[in-house]
Structure 1
Amino acid sequence: MSTTSNWAGRTVLVTGAEGFIGSTLVDLLLAQGADVRAFVHYKPYAEKGHLAHLLDDPRVQLLAGDVRDPGRVSDAVEGCDTVFHLAALIGIPYSYDSPGAYVQTNVVGTENVAEACRRHAVRRMVHTSTSEVYGTARTAPIDESHPLQPQSPYSASKIGADMTALSHWHAFELPVTVVRPFNTYGPRQSARAVIPTILAQLHAGAREIKLGSLTPTRDFTYVTDTARGFMAAADCDRALGQVLNLGTGREISIGDLALALIAASGRDAQLVADPSRLRPSGSEVHRLLSDNTRAREWTGWEPQVSLEDGLKQTSEWVAAHLNLFAPDRYQV
């Protein structure tokens, strides 16, 4: 199935719509004619984050709520053709401090979304996984049959969420597909992730870039490519009850990534180890490299933005939005 399906006239729910990937997905869906319900986490103040530019757009309905509330989730899902479930508690370091919160939001929240999709007979639910569920690669590149290894409370909660979603396919024939992005990056990403962390330090004028381990490798995928993968998965019948990796098939070490970011930013800096940014030894994922064959062959999707171009675009965005970052503080 092509990634250029017609979304005109479809009512689509995006949970976690205020987030980095979610807001990018909302923009792409609108560009292809969809009517979007944007489910955002309730806050007692008016800030709408990455959806602020859509507040007066009649094609977007902003719904405040919490995926832990089954009633509110059910109301949001009713009448939707497709549900993209991105809402999650993310960030690995914080999961060491508050693992129970990850279970409640990621596992129970996914159960609530899946049950609402079943109750209201949606055409397709697309559930968001993460490459962190694989842990350190036992074989590379990693395909969808790779063992799941819960090396952090975050990854454990996402494994639980994935299994919850897929159980609804096996038990209830819920039309659900699990997409598993590999280290998405790009404009709008928060400082908790490595690329904006490095860029914020660089554009703030730092001459020493503080990082944790430099040796792990990652497969970085530009955010618009990830969002297109979600849309492609939503219209692929072969992907029902299946998992699709969304990655580039290219890996780079964190150390080499930092050097590439220094070059992309046009700054001059050296790398410095910061022990506070290290994961516990048994929790560090040393290698992630995707095999995206299934997504390419089943849906026609493939990444379009090179790492070099993506890093340049991300650098420009961070430089223009440096007020959103606190370069001198480690954000978990």
Structure 2
Amino acid sequence: MENARTDTFLITGGCGYLGYRLACSLHRKGAKIILFDTVPPKQEAPEVFTFVQGDIREYAQVEEAIAGADCVFHIASYGMSGREQLDRHLIEAVNVQGTENVLRACVEHGVSRLVYTSTFNVVFGGQVIENGNESLPYLPLHLHPDHYSRTKSLAEMAVLKADGAALPDGSGVLRCCALRPAGIYGPGEQRHLPRIVGYIEKGIFRFVYGDPGSLVEFVHVDNLVMAHELAAEALTPEKQHRSAGQAYFISDGRPVNNFEFFRPLVEGLGYPFPKLCLPVSLIYFVAFLTEMIHHLIGPFYNFQPLLTRTEVYKTGVTHYFSMAKAKAELGYDPREYNLDEVVQWFRSRGHGRKCHTSSLGRLLRDILFVSAFVAVAFSFLPVVGM
């Protein structure tokens, strides 16, 4: 990335997994880095990094951080998974209002490039998509099963609409693009993988669901870092601003069954892979019940749902996308990765099977667990029919 040698990059959400990994990659190429986040980085950051602690919902704090930046990577968001998905007020404030603050600050301070980290979810809401491309329309807002996806759609629309906005004193225009990544993985990922490993270790991961032939996608963090760097470079005059106003699907480009993808992690930690497969409709119904219960008691006890409705669709329904546009316009060429590094990362931190139960014991536990699961689901049916 040629421009990294002299440019100053501001990364919102820069102390998160992707943001910090991107910062380190840009730094190795000679760039100046500003991290903007609510908390300092967990790792020991290079002294040359500038850390600005602030809240993306507060315009004055965003403006202070962006002043002096040449390019902004807007990664910060809220509500992607788990109980976070159920806090509608905070999701909207961060994802919509926060993005508006970033765009306004970019224009007022003459920032010429903005790369927005969006999501597959702007076009996906539980329908089957096979090798989709960027010509797909946004999913109608009222069809999104969660507020995170809805607000990410609104934010992406605002970013792409802002492309071409005039900068002060005739200094040029703001060039914007959006990346729509698949589920992110890699050693040290802290949002999804620890939750999955927790379910495995607690004995909750006793079944899979959906059609065994269903396919989804993932993206290794380093492939996603590469895509961000290429997208920013493609916004420059040297690249004829070719990514300006554009959105790109980004993944490893290898569709795979969601549960088969995690098989190496389950077995690598010494646990048996579940043989029981349940229908998506049943799991979706239980997720719906869980969300309703959370809505009622969440203000008093903010428990972690096993799964939300959106997570059921994202893991159990086929949706994968073509990388042709990203390859042609950005030069994106994803490398091949597997979960070996992830398994080693968890094992080095003390995770892995510490005790073994007999096959009969596992079978009995499976039967009890599934019986309870189904009983809870169907106990609600008479109420629905009233």
- With the shorter chain as reference, the TM-score category is 0.7 to 0.9
- Counterparts of 1:280 and 1:212, CA distance in 2: 15
State whether structure 2 residue 240 is matched by structure 1 residue 250: no
Query: Is 1:106 equivalent to 2:95 in the alignment?
Result: yes
Find the aligned partners of 2:88 and 2:221 in 1 and give their Cα distance: 27
TM-score (norm: length of structure 2): 0.72
Mapped contact 1:125–1:234 kept (Cα < 8 A): yes
* Count of residue pairs the alignment pairs up: 304
Please say which structure displays the higher CA radius of gyration.
Answer: 2
For the residues of structure 2 that align with 1:322 and 1:242, how far apart are their CA atoms? Answer: 44
Q: Equivalent residue for 2:159?
A: 165
Aligned match of 1:219: 217
Higher relative contact order (CA 8 A, sep 6+): 1
Partners in 1 of 2:33 and 2:116 — Cα distance?
A: 17
Aligned to 2:120: 131
Shift of 1:142: 1.9
- The aligned runs of 1:200-211 (5 Å cut-off) are 200=198, 204=201, 209-210=205-206
Q: Does the Cα contact within 8 Å between 1:17 and 1:23 map onto a contact in 2?
A: yes
For 1:238, what is the secondary structure of its paired residue? Answer: coil
Matching residue of 2:270: 267
For residue 330 of structure 1, what is the aligned residue in structure 2?
none
Distance in structure 2 (CA, Å) of the matches to 1:118 and 1:211: 50
**C-alpha spacing 1:94/1:49, structure 2 compared with 1 (3 Å):** same
Q: What's the secondary structure of 1:141's corresponding residue?
A: strand
Structure 1, residues 187-243: CA drift from partner, whole Å, max 9, x if none?
2222x42x44334555x5x66635674556321110011011001000112110110
Q: C-alpha separation between the residues in 2 aligned to 1:201 and 1:283?
A: 15
Corresponding position: 1:229 with 2:219: no
1:108 and 1:74 map into 2 onto residues whose CA distance is 14
- 1:177–1:239 Cα contact (<8 Å) kept: yes
Change (3 A) 1:294 1:250: same
Identity score, percent = 25
User: Does the C-alpha gap of structure 1 residues 214 and 59 become closer, same or farther in structure 2, counting only changes over 3 Å?
Assistant: farther
In the alignment, residue 254 of structure 2 is paired with which amino acid? R
Q: Structure 2 unaligned runs (5+)?
A: 167-172, 235-240, 287-304, 352-386
**Contact preservation (8 Å) 2:123, 2:137:** yes
1:116 equivalent to 2:121? Answer: no
CA deviation map 1:67-97 (0-9, x unaligned): 1111111111111111101011032333552
CA deviation after TM superposition for structure 1 residue 266, in Å: 5.1
Partner of 1:53 in structure 2? 44
Matched, 1:79 2:75: no
Match of 2:149 in 1: 155
- The amino acid across from 1:53 in the alignment is E
Aligned-partner residue type, residue 60 of structure 1: F
TM-score normalised according to structure 1 size = 0.83
Structure 1: unaligned runs, 5 residues or longer: 43-47, 324-332
Q: Which moved more, 1:87-96 or 1:275-284?
A: 275-284
- In 1, distance between residues paired with 2:161 and 2:79? 22
2:196 equivalent in structure 1: 198
Letter in 2 for 1:159: S
Distance in 2 between residues matched to 1:88 and 1:68, nearest whole Å: 11
User: Shift of the alpha carbon at 1:269?
Assistant: 1.8
Q: 1:248, 1:232 → 2: CA distance?
A: 15
Q: Per-residue deviation at 1:318?
A: 2.4
The structure-2 alpha-carbon separation of the partners of 1:278 and 1:199, relative to structure 1 and needing over 3 Å to count, comes to: closer
Give 1:178's aligned residue: 178
Q: Residues of 1 paired with 2:164 and 2:101: CA distance?
A: 17
1:199–1:315 contact (8 Å) kept in structure 2: no
Structure 2 CA distance for aligned equivalents of residues 322 and 14 of structure 1: 32
**Rounded Cα–Cα distance in structure 2 between residues aligned with 1:101 and 1:322:** 34
Distance 1:258 1:76 in 2: 38
Distance 1:139 1:146 in 2: 10
